[in-house]
Chains A and B, each alone.
Chain A
Amino acid sequence: MRALVDIRESLNIAVSAIWANKARGVLTTLGIVIGIVAVTTTMTAFNGMQSAFRQSAAAVGADVVYVSRMPWIIMGNWWEFRNRPNLNMDEAEALREAFEGEAIVNPTMDTRQDLKYRSEIMEGVTVIGTTEKLPIVTSRLPETGRFLMTYDVSYKKNVVVIGTTVAEGLFGTTSPINKEMNIGPAKFRVIGVMEKQGGNTFGGPDFDRQVFIPISTYVKVYGGRHFGDVDIAVKAPSPDAVEDLEYEVIGEMRKIRKLRPAEDNDFSINKLDSLMGAFNSVVGVVLLVGLLVTSIALFVGGIGVMNIMFVSVTERTREIGIRKAIGARRHSILLQFLLESAIICLIGGLIGIGLATLVTFGINASGMMPASVSPGILVTSVVIAMVVGVFAGFVPAWKGARLDPIEALRYE
C-alpha cells in the first residue's frame, strides 16, 4: 500500500515537472529520438532481411546439396574457378544412378530468353530446364494448373510452367493455362502457374520472373547436352543427413570425374549454409553500423538527459528539503527523479519509433533492402529508451535523494 501510494505520488510529480518544462523536455529528447530511430531501424532492417532470407531458404531447401561448377558465393580468386569444366547431363545422369533409391537427384539448367505471347513481350526471363522432381526439392508448387510430369520430361514435351510475374506480364487477367507462347525460338504450351514467392532477396533471383520447362526439351531447343552448365540438386532423406550426403556426393562426383586423390575438386558443393554466410556478412555490416550509430546517439542523448536531470534536481533542491522534512524517504525522492527521466526518455522513445516506422517504409520503398516493423521491435525500442532514461537519471536522482534536509531547506 505504502509503496503504491509512493509510486503514484512520484509519478504525479514527475509528470507535472515535465509538463511544467515542456520545451526543455522536447529538446532533451532529441538525442534519445535519434538513438531510438537508429536502433529501431536497425532492427526493422535486420527483421526484413531475415524474413527475406527465410524465403530464399525455403526455395533453396535446408536439406538439399547442390553440385555446381561455381560456388554461389565466391571467396578468394575467381580465376581459380575459370578452368573448371561445366557439369553436363551425362554427369547428372551418372549421379542420379549412383543415388538411385537413396536420395532424389534433380538437374537444372538455365538461360535467359525473350518471351512472347501475341503482342506481349518480356525480355531476358530466366528459363529453367528441370524435371518433375523440382517441387520435391524446393517445395515450390504451382498455384493453378500442374507442374511438369515424368512423361513431359521423357517425351521432351514443349510445355511450360510460368511464374506469377510472367503470368501477369504476358497474359494480364486472362488465364494462361493451355495458351501457346514463345520462349526464344520455340513454342510452348502453358500448363501451370507457380505460387507467388514474393520478396526479392537482397540482390538474389526474382523467383516469380521464371519459367520451367522439361530439361530434355531444354537440351533439344537450346542445346548443351554435353557442354551445358547443369546444376544438380541432391535432396537428403532428412535434414540431419545433409552432412553425410555432402561427403557422399563429393565422393561420387570425384568418381564420375575420375579425379586422382591429389587433385582438388573441380566442382563446387553449395548448400543453404553458403547463403547463410552471405546473409550473415550483409547483416553483420548493417548491425555493426546500426549498433555504432545507436550507441553513440543514445550515449549523447543519455548525457543530455543526465544534464537536464541535474538542472531539475538543483532547481528543486528546496522542494526536496520540504518533502524530506515531512517524511519522504530517500527512495521516494530517488523514484521521483528516476521516473521523470524515464518518462522524458519514454516520450523520446515513442517519437523515435514513430519516425523509425516512417524510415522503414522509406527504406522499403527505395528498394535498397527489405525492412519490416514488428510489435516486438517497437516494444524493445521503447524499453531501451526507458532503460537509458533510468541510467541517465540515476546519478542526478541519487544526488537529490542524498541531500541533507537542512541544507536543502536552506537552499535559495
Chain B
Amino acid sequence: MAAVLAPPDDEPVLQLEDVVKTYVMGSEEIHALSGVSVSIEENEYVAIMGPSGSGKSTLMNIIGCLDVPTSGRYSLGGEMVDDKSEAELADIRNRMIGFIFQTFNLIPRADILHNVELPLIYGGVGRAERKARAMSALDRVGLANRVSHKPNELSGGQRQRVAIARALVFDPQIILADEPTGNLDSRTGAEIMQMLDELHANGQTIIIVTHEDDIAAHASRSILLRDGKIETDTINPNPVRSAAAGG
C-alpha cells in the first residue's frame, strides 16, 4: 500500500497550506494554529520545536490524520486529506503513519505482543503473518524476550520501545513522534533516538516534536513554532547520529 501511495520523487510526501486550527471555548476562540504552510519530502528528518502551547501537538495530530484543520489544505502522499471519510482516515492512520506518543499509549490489559499486533489486526493481516511481523518488530527494538509481559511490567524506556515497535510494524511511510523522550531519562532517551535514527536510515520520514536541543540535533531540519505560526524553518547540515545507526 505504501508503494502505491508513494508520490513521485519531486512531490513532497506531505504538504500543508495555510492550515488553521481554532478551538472555541465558550465565547473565547483559541487559535492553536493560525496559518501554517509547510511541505516535507520523503525521508526527511524534521524536528518541530517551540514553547509550550505553540501548537506543536496540534500540528502533529493534523499531520497524523487524528485531527482535521478548521481551514486550509492538507495533502498526504499526493492525495487531499480534507475530503476523506472517517474510514479512509482510519486506514491512513493504520498504514501510512506510525504514531509515537510521549505517554506511550499502550493498552494496559493486552500483552506487548498483542499491542504491537494491533495495527496489523485493524489492517486485516492474518494471524500467522501478524505474529511473525510483530515478533520481528519487537526483535528490532530488542524486546523479543518480553512478548508476554503486560506494559505495566516494563520500564518507561521499554514501554516506549514497544510503542516504536507498534509504530513501525506496518512499515509506514511516516513516523510521527510527539515528545517521545519527554517522560524518559536522558540515557533512555538516547536509546529511543538511536531507534528513530535507524528508522530514518531505513528510508522512513521522521517528524519529531521536542523541547530539547540535543534531541532536535538528530534532525536534518528544524521548524520553530510560536503562537501557532512557523517562526523559523532551518536546515541542519550536520545532524547528530547515534553511534550504532549508520548515516
Is B95 interfacial (CB 8 A cutoff)?
yes
Q: Is the CB of A1 within 8 A of B67?
A: no
Interface residue from A5, A17, A332 paired with B126 (Cβ < 8 Å): A5
Using an 8 Å CB-CB cutoff, how does the interface string of A314-326 with B read, 1 for contact, 0 for none? 0000110111111
Q: Is the CB of A325 within 8 A of B105?
A: yes
Alpha-carbon distance A326/B124, docked complex (angstroms): 13
Is B118 interfacial (CB 8 A cutoff)?
yes
Contacts of A327 on B, CB cut-off 8 Å?
90-91, 93-95, 119, 122-123
Interface residue from A5, A17, A321, A325 paired with B125 (Cβ < 8 Å): A5
Q: Is the CB of B118 within 8 A of A2?
A: no
Q: Is the CB of B90 within 8 A of A324?
A: yes
Contacts of B93 on A, CB cut-off 8 Å?
324-327
Residues 1-21 of A contacting B (Cβ, < 8 Å): 1-3, 5-6, 9, 16-17, 20
Chain A: CB-nearest residue to B57: A406
Residues 167-187 of B contacting A (Cβ, < 8 Å): none
Residues 68-89 of B contacting A (Cβ, < 8 Å): 86-87
When A326-B166, A327-B90 are in contact, do A319 and B107 touch as well, CB less than 8 Å? Answer: yes
Alpha-carbon distance A327/B99, docked complex (angstroms): 11
Is A409 interfacial (CB 8 A cutoff)?
yes
Alpha-carbon distance A102/B122, docked complex (angstroms): 77
Q: Is the CB of B118 within 8 A of A406?
A: no
When A319-B107, A325-B105, A406-B61 are in contact, do A330 and B86 touch as well, CB less than 8 Å? Answer: yes
Q: Is the CB of A5 within 8 A of B124?
A: yes
Q: Is the CB of B66 within 8 A of A406?
A: yes
Residues 106-143 of B contacting A (Cβ, < 8 Å): 106-107, 109, 118-119, 121-127
Chain B: CB-nearest residue to A321: B105
Q: Is the CB of A6 within 8 A of B126?
A: no
Chain B: CB-nearest residue to A3: B124
Alpha-carbon distance A17/B107, docked complex (angstroms): 12
Q: How far is the CB of A39 from chain B (nearest CB, A)?
A: 34
Contacts of A326 on B, CB cut-off 8 Å?
93-94, 99, 118-119, 122, 166
User: How many A-B residue contacts, CB cutoff 8 Å?
Assistant: 70
Q: Is the CB of B121 within 8 A of A5?
A: yes
Contacts of B122 on A, CB cut-off 8 Å?
6, 9, 323, 326-329, 332
Q: Is the CB of A325 within 8 A of B66?
A: yes
Instruction: Report A's interface with B, CB cutoff 8 A.
Output: 1-3, 5-6, 9, 16-17, 20, 318-319, 321-330, 332, 405-406, 409
Q: How far is the CB of A408 from chain B (nearest CB, A)?
A: 10
Q: How far is the CB of A317 from chain B (nearest CB, A)?
A: 12
Contacts of A332 on B, CB cut-off 8 Å?
122
Q: Is the CB of A405 within 8 A of B166?
A: no
Q: How far is the CB of A316 from chain B (nearest CB, A)?
A: 9
8 tightest CB-CB pairs across the interface, nearest first? A327-B94, A2-B124, A327-B122, A329-B90, A326-B119, A9-B121, A322-B105, A405-B66
Interface centre among A9, A321, A322, A326, by most chain B C-beta atoms within 10 angstroms, is: A326
Alpha-carbon distance A405/B122, docked complex (angstroms): 15
Interface residue from B107, B109, B127 paired with A20 (Cβ < 8 Å): B109
Interface centre among B94, B119, B122, B127, by most chain A C-beta atoms within 10 angstroms, is: B122
Interface residue from A6, A20, A329, A409 paired with B87 (Cβ < 8 Å): A329
Contacts of B95 on A, CB cut-off 8 Å?
327
Q: How far is the CB of A314 from chain B (nearest CB, A)?
A: 16
Interface residue from B86, B99, B124 paired with A1 (Cβ < 8 Å): B124
Q: How far is the CB of B208 from chain A (nearest CB, A)?
A: 17
Contacts of A319 on B, CB cut-off 8 Å?
107
Alpha-carbon distance A20/B150, docked complex (angstroms): 14
Alpha-carbon distance A322/B163, docked complex (angstroms): 11
For the complex with contacts A326-B119, A330-B90, 17 further pairs of A-B residues with Cβ separation under 8 Å are A1-B124, A1-B126, A5-B125, A9-B118, A9-B121, A17-B109, A323-B118, A323-B122, A326-B99, A326-B122, A327-B93, A327-B95, A327-B122, A329-B122, A330-B86, A330-B87, A406-B66
Interface centre among A319, A327, A329, by most chain B C-beta atoms within 10 angstroms, is: A327
Alpha-carbon distance A322/B109, docked complex (angstroms): 13
